[in-house]
Amino acid sequence: MTYDLVVLTRRAPDVRAIVDSMVDAGETLRVRGSGDGALIQLCDDTDLPLVSIESAQRVDVAGEVERLLGTAVTAGLTVPYWWVEARATGADPRGPEAANRFADAMVKRLGGAVWRSEER
């Protein structure tokens, strides 16, 4: 089972914000690209993927995210904003912990909100 998060950011995620947030997820985690650059994986020292982070998508249609995730997560956000999806392995508790740190760091840097598939 996976642990899924959607990070909605007020500002476009630039490379610096993404890299700094990945460091906040875990300084010892390794970075690996996948999916022809559409996916970044944070891995442990044995190269086991703990978190997969998808490329940011711009949201331009008001109401679309609310339809998918509910109105609570988008309170105070106006289009455009950006959707960044992260998925962690549920088999290892380090995955959800790192995903939460990444998501919280993104929101701290860029503003926005986080939707979580389940509270940890």
Q: What radius of gyration, in Å, describes the C-alpha atoms of the chain?
A: 14
Average pLDDT over residues 10-17: 95
Q: Where are the alpha helices (DSSP H) in the chain?
A: 15-25, 64-69, 94-110
> Which H or E element spans position 112?
strand 112-116
pLDDT tier for residue 120 given thresholds of 50, 70 and 90: very low
For the chain, what are the domain ranges? 2-116
Q: What is the rounded distance in angstroms from the CA atom of residue 19 to the CA atom of residue 116?
A: 21
pLDDT in tens, 59-83: 999 899 999 999 999 988 999 999 9
Q: How many residues does the chain have?
A: 120
pLDDT value at residue 38 = 83
Contact 109, 17 (CB under 8 A): yes
The CATH classification number of 2-116 equals 3.30.70
